[in-house]
Amino acid sequence: MFRLDNKTALITGGGSGIGEAVARLFAARGAHVFIADVAADAALRVAGDLIAQDYAAEPLELDVADETQVRDALDQIAKMGRLDLLVNNAGVSHVGNILETSLDDWERVLRVNARGAFLCAREAVRIMVQQQPQGGVIVNMASVAAQIAVDRRLPYSASKGAILAMTRSIAIDFVGQGIRCNAICPGTVHTPFVEGYLKRSFPGQEDAVRQTLHARQPIGRMGKPEEIAAAALYLASDEAAFITGSALVIDGGWTAK
């Protein structure tokens, strides 16, 4: 079960954190993975590790918010055969309520999280509609912040809400073309992304705030990237063939409170 043999996958933000865990798991389950990241060295590191294990992997430097780069990257992948799987994972964050959020802050977060996911999904759908009857699968990384209020996360929450709405629209609009589109809504996951946020936003208070992040999930800890990757594998696999337009919440019980 849960094999991805002979499938080609593009994972954005694949150079670290959740994206890296997804790339490693997909490759181990048989997929040919394209590891896209705005940080070329990070993509190269992950791809190099996978190639050394005899997995099929290629690094790809990509700014997901750049329309030309996205179109060129996906065209390049399509010319090599197919694009079966897209994991829209690249993202950035900001700490602040509406009064603490500048227009630049708002546009920076929406540019990567919402615009970037839109551009990658649009170009993926262009390819997948030509691959009927199998089409393809899109997995969008949303967040519990798309479903509940999280203190001082205004632009991030808005961007993830947009991703959740886009997921449902794509799912319904293209269900007849063999394309499935689902979202994952993680709680707080312990990644380099989170550690960077702690360092930038809470200098000198990292340990205390880290413990707060662990504690706000009823299960008592933050999630692990590998746990989110396992969900992405399920949604990408043929075993999830009856699932589209759904949001899979993985949050240690946070939204159940």
Cα distances from 198 to residues 14, 141, 219, 226, in angstroms, run 21, 21, 21, 21
How far is residue 47's CA from residue 68's CA, in Å, rounded to a whole number?
23
Positive/negative CA dihedral, 167, 169, 172, 174: negative
Tokens linked to 69: 């780069």
- Distance CA(188)–CA(216), nearest Å, equals 9
Residues 77 and 57: beta-carbon distance below 8 Å: no
Tell whether the torsion through CA atoms of 53, 55, 60 and 65 is positive or negative.
Answer: negative
Q: Is 197 a catalytic residue?
A: no
Q: Could you list the active site residues?
A: 156
